[in-house]
């Protein structure tokens, strides 16, 4: 399931509608859609910038892929959230059969591949960007993948950002106002900087430190020299 915090963030489509409204384009009616590509680019740039600034703690996720009898190749993909899985960030893979779970071992040898028997899979590997299973499943099972999520996709209307939608919107508004030479662009940029500083402070205060060497790295809050500034495009 999707993280509850992310579920509260507005989608790209919702942010696009508000960005256009804040810039006064809605009054243009259907003609305002001509500005959609550049508006979306402002929002995507904002998502990348805010994500890099906050560097959120990676999210641990689980998904279950439904296996089919006789099929041994599957996409590294979370269908429930329409999210690709980076094989390098996979923590564990399990076969789910009713109430029982069995962890798979990574690594399939050529000798294994020469064995065409069908049974419950016990090994997995990445082959041409897909999940390879051995033995070939003899019936339907669930394949549970536990992984660390990468920065979420932010390209389709229903996509939700991985960081505060308010910060993304403010950054996009400031950039868009500068692009269209609105006189209040700098005031929005100042507001964005203030909100970003507060979010960094809150993030720093919520980090926990441990004495056993396992800790979450904190980030220092930048001073005025690190502020985001605008230049008219």
From first to last of its 233 residues, the chain has per-residue pLDDT tens of 445 555 689 999 999 999 999 998 866 666 667 889 999 999 999 999 999 999 888 889 999 999 999 999 999 999 998 899 999 999 999 999 999 999 999 999 999 999 999 999 999 999 999 999 999 999 999 999 999 998 999 999 999 999 999 999 999 999 999 999 999 999 999 999 999 999 999 877 765 544 444 434 433 333 344 566 665 44
If one counts every other C-beta atom within 10 angstroms of the C-beta of residue 63, the result is: 17
If one counts every other C-beta atom within 10 angstroms of the C-beta of residue 95, the result is: 20
| Residue 211 burial by Cβ neighbours in a 10 Å radius (0-12, 13-18, 19+) | exposed
- CB 103, CB 93: distance < 8 Å: yes
Residue 135 has what DSSP assignment? Answer: S
User: pTM of the entire structure?
Assistant: 0.71
Nearest to 186 by CA among 140, 228, 233, 133: 228
Nearest to 233 by CA among 48, 15, 41: 41
> So what's the pLDDT on residue 63?
97
> So what's the pLDDT on residue 223?
38
The answer for residues whose C-beta is within 8 angstroms of residue 177's C-beta and 6 or more apart is: 23, 184, 185, 188
Query: In degrees rounded to 5, what are phi and psi of residue 42?
Result: -65, -40
* Gap between the Cα atoms of 200 and 220, Å rounded: 8
Per DSSP bridges, beta strands 123-127 and 105-106 are parallel
Residue 194 has what DSSP assignment? Answer: H
| Residue 173 burial by Cβ neighbours in a 10 Å radius (0-12, 13-18, 19+) | buried
- CB 9, CB 160: distance < 8 Å: yes
Our CA angle for 104, 107, 109, nearest 5°, is 125
């Amino acid at each position: 399931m999707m993280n509850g915090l992310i579920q509260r963030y507005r989608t790209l489509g919702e942010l696009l509608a508000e960005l256009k409204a804040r810039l006064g384009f809605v009054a243009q009616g259907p003609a305002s859609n001509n500005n959609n590509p550049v508006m979306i680019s402002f929002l995507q740039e904002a998502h990348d910038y805010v994500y890099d600034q906050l560097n959120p703690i990676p999210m641990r996720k689980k998904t279950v892929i439904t296996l089919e009898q006789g099929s041994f190749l599957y996409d590294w993909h979370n269908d429930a959230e329409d999210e690709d899985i980076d094989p390098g960030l996979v923590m564990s893979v399990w076969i789910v059969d009713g109430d029982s779970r069995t962890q798979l071992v990574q690594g399939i040898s050529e000798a294994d591949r020469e064995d065409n028997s069908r049974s419950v899979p016990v090994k997995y590997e990445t082959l041409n960007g897909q999940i390879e299973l051995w033995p070939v499943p003899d019936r339907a099972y669930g394949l549970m993948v536990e992984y660390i999520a990468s920065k979420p996709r932010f390209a389709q209307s229903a996509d939700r950002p991985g960081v505060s939608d308010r910060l993304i919107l403010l950054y996009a508004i400031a950039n868009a106002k500068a692009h269209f030479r609105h006189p209040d662009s700098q005031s929005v940029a100042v507001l964005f900087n203030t909100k970003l500083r507060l979010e960094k402070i809150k993030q720093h205060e919520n980090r926990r430190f441990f004495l056993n060497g396992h800790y979450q790295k904190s980030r220092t809050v930048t001073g005025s020299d690190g502020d985001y500034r605008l230049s008219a495009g």
